[in-house]
Amino acid sequence: MNQQGRSGVIVVAGDEQDDQPVDLDRWSALAQTSLEARGAGSGELNLLFINRIEMTALNAQHMGEDRCTDVLSFPIDAGDGDADDFPGEALAGERLLGDIVICPDYAAEQAPDHTGSYDDELALLVVHGVLHILGMDHAEPEETAEMQAAERDLLERFHQ
């Protein structure tokens, strides 16, 4: 377990899989700077890396799809995407932003045809998850374009 925080955003990260290497400090920092850049203010985010079996079970339970996926986001309450719209129960004065769950093994498999590298794929999934936590979606073409533009902006600024 790893806890990363400065200013008002805390990211608690954990790696519960053994399939692929995961640099918790690096991905926690990316999540934190992305949240801060998008105006999240203060709060706590959980970032968890799990195996295919666990991700398949979560995807079936929460999305109704009995298959593995790359990332799932569970915002406490995203409201209309405004950073002030998180009424999550406070712990030690902090609001709970939500949870991002990533399957590194699935990310490694799709990376060659998607982003090109495992690191770039994990970076995209972290940023994608953060944007979902902040209330963004990609159900409609306009939403997709807006979310992809935000992803590109954050990756260009914070992913080396």
Q: Give the type of residue at 71.
A: V
Span 30-39, mean pLDDT? 96
pLDDT value at residue 160: 79
pLDDT value at residue 54: 98
pLDDT value at residue 3: 60
DSSP 44-98: EEEEEE--HHHHHHHHHHHHS--S--SEEEEES--TTS-TT---PPPBTTB-EEE
What residues make up the domain containing 133? 2-158
Report helix, strand or coil for 11: strand
Report the run of H or E that residue 14 belongs to, with start and end.
Answer: strand 9-15
Write the CATH number for 115.
3.40.390.30
Q: How many helices (H) and strands (E) does the chain have?
A: 5, 5
Which two structure tokens, joined as six digits, stand for 115? 């982003």
- Each residue's pLDDT tens digit, 81-140: 444 444 444 444 468 999 999 999 999 999 999 999 999 999 999 999 999 999 999 999
pLDDT value at residue 89: 42
- Each residue's pLDDT tens digit, 42-70: 899 999 999 999 999 999 999 999 999 99
Which two structure tokens, joined as six digits, stand for 138? 């990609």
pLDDT value at residue 143: 96
Statement: residue 8 has pLDDT above 90: no
State the DSSP code for 153. H
For residue 118, give the nearest of 105, 101, 102 by alpha carbon: 105
Q: How many domains does the chain have?
A: 1
